[in-house]
Structure 1
Amino acid sequence: MVVNKKLTEEEKATLENRLKQYESTLSISPKDPVALEGTAVTLAELGEYTRAASLLQDLANEKQNDPDVYRLLGEIKYELNDYEGSAGAYRMSAKVSKSTNFEVLRGLTNALLASKKPDEAVKFLLASRERLTSERSSAAGAKADDAQMKDQPEVVDPIQVDLLLGKAYSDWGHISDAASVYDQIISSHPNDFRGYLAKGVLLKENGNPGDAERMFIQARFFAPDKAKALVDRYARK
C-alpha cells in the first residue's frame, strides 16, 4: 500500500527530492520503465493520484505482463473514486499474475463492492477459492524439494479470502450465506478469533446484539493480545 500514508515534513521533502531525480531521467528517456514506476509510486506516496494514474497507464503499456503495475493502478484509481477503472486494473493484475495475491483479491473485492456489484465480487471470490485450493496442492507437492520451495509463491491465507467472501455476501444482502461462511471458518478453525469477530459484526449489523455479544466474547478469548483492542472496537460500535 502506498496511499493514505501521513507524511512528516522530512518524509515529504525526501519524496519530493526523489521525484525530481526520476523526472530528470524521464526528461531524457520518457519511456524508461524504472523511472516511470519510481515517479508513479512517489507521486502516489505524495497523494498526487491523478498524475500517478496517468504515468501508470503509460507504464502498463510498456510492461503489459507486470501484475504489480496493474495492482498499483487499481489502488490509485480506487483513491480517485474510479471504482470501475480500479476493478479493471485489479482484474488485469490477477490475469497476468502467476499466483494469487491477497492485495489484489482485497482490492478487486473492495472496488466491486464500492461500484455496487457484490454479486460479481462473490463470483470472483468463489473462483479465487478454487484457484487457491489448486495452488496449495501444488505447494504441498513441492515441499519435499527445499530448493524448489524457495521459488514457490507465498500461498494466501484461506481464512482471509473467506472473510472477504462473507463481506461480499453481506453487502449483497445474502445474510444467511455470509453467516454460513463465517460458521465454516469457526468450525474449521475454532481457535482463530477472526471467524467469531466477523460473525459478531454481521449479527450486530442485522439486529441481533445478544448473539453478537457472545461472538465478541469468543473472539476476544481467542484473539492474540495485539488484536484484543480490535475486537473491543467492533464490539463497541
Structure 2
Amino acid sequence: MQKKSNRWFIWVFVVVAVVALVGFSFGSIFDSLLSSRPSPSPTVPTPGTTPTPPVVSDIEKKNLKDLENGYLQILEKEPDNPDALRGLAEARSQMIKIGLKTEKDLLDPLEKLVELNPEQTQYQVLLAQTLQKTGKRESAAQTYRSILATEPGNMDALQGFVNLLVEQQRPSAATELLQTTLKNAPQANQVKPNSINESAVQLLLGQVYATQRQFDQAVGVYDKLIAKDPNDFRPVFAKAILLREQGKTKEADILFNSAEKLAPGQYKDQIKAAAQKPNETPEASPSSQSPSASPQPSPSSTPGTPE
C-alpha cells in the first residue's frame, strides 16, 4: 500500500511539474486576474517536500485584515461593487497563503463575481477550483462542464476538470474527455481558428496515462508530440520523468539534458531541479521570472501568449 501511495505521489508530481513549468497554474491565473502586480513564477515542487508557508510579520497580517474589513464595509453599501469584490477575493487569497483564511472564505466573492460577469470564464474557473478544494466536487464538475460546453478548448477548465476526475478515481472519464476534445478539435478550429490547442490537450492526455501507469500509451503521446515539434521541451521533459519512474535512468538523463537545452532560459533551473536524483542535492539558483509571460512554452497557445 505504501509503495502504491508513493507511486501515486510521483505521478501527481509529474502533472504538477509539467503544468507549473509551462505557466499553467490556477495560482498564476488568480494573481493575474485579480491583481495588477506581476505574478511570481510558479514553483516546481520536488517529491517528498511540501511548500513552506511564507513568513509574514504581524504588521503585514494586520494590514491584510484591515484591507479585508475595508472591502467588506464597501460591500455592505454596494454589494455589487466589482472592484471591492475583486479586492476582497485578492485579499483573502493572500490570507489563505499565510493561514489566516481557508478556501471556503473565497466562495462568496467568487460566486458574486461569476454572477456579475458570466462572460468572464476566468472567474468560473477560479470558482470551480475553489469548490474542488473545499470538497464540493459535484458543483465544481458542473462549473467545469458549463465552461467547456461553450469553450471546449479552455485549457484552464480542461486541466481543472481532468484533475478532478483523476481525484475521483475516474481516469477513464478523464481520458474520454480529452480524446473527445481532440476528436472535435479539427472542426472546432475550422469554425474558430486556434480555439483548441491540440498539442496542449495531447500533453495533458499523456499525463493522465502516466498517472495510471499506462506507460506505453504515455510514451506514444510524447513521441508523437516530439516528432511534431522537436523544439518543444515539454514532451521531452515529461518523457524524461516517465522513463526515470520506469528505472530507465540513462535514457531519462539524456532527455533531461535535451529538455534543458531546448527550454527557454527561465525554465532551465527548474528542469535541473526536477532532474535531480533522490540522493542528490540541487544547486541553489536564482528564481525564474514569470513563466506565464514567456511566449514559447505556454500550453494555451504554441507559440503565443495564453488566451
Tell whether the structures are fold-level matches, with TM greater than 0.5.
yes
RMSD between aligned residues: 3.2
Of 125-134 and 162-171, the range deviating more from structure 2: 125-134
Correspondence for 1:93: 147
The structural deviation recorded for 1:132 is 4.2
CA contact (8 A) 2:131 2:139 kept: yes
The whole-number CA distance in structure 2 between the counterparts of 1:136 and 1:117 is: 28
Name the SS for the 2:231 alignment partner.
coil
Q: 1:156 to 1:231 in 2, by over 3 A?
A: farther
Q: 1:95 to 1:216 in 2, by over 3 A?
A: same
Point out where structure 1 has 5 or more consecutive residues left out of the alignment.
141-153
Q: How many residues in Structure 1 have an aligned counterpart in Structure 2?
A: 223
Corresponding residue to 2:72 among 23, 29, 41: 23
Matched, 1:222 2:275: no
CA contact (8 A) 1:65 1:96 kept: no
Correspondence for 2:301: none
Correspondence for 2:233: 193
- The structure, 1 or 2, with the larger RCO (C-alpha pairs under 8 Å, 6+ apart) is 2
Correspondence for 2:176: 123
Structure holding more helix per residue: 1
The whole-number CA distance in structure 2 between the counterparts of 1:134 and 1:15 is: 48
Name the SS for the 1:46 alignment partner.
helix
Q: 1:14 to 1:103 in 2, by over 3 A?
A: farther
The structural deviation recorded for 1:90 is 2.4
Q: 1:191 to 1:46 in 2, by over 3 A?
A: same
The structural deviation recorded for 1:7 is 8.1
1:166 maps to a residue whose letter is G
Point out where structure 2 has 5 or more consecutive residues left out of the alignment.
1-26, 32-50, 278-307
Correspondence for 1:167: 207
Correspondence for 1:51: 105
Scaled by the length of structure 2, the TM-score of the pair is: 0.60
Scaled by the length of structure 1, the TM-score of the pair is: 0.75
- Alignment identity in percent? 26
1:22 maps to a residue whose letter is Y
Corresponding residue to 1:40 among 80, 83, 89: 89
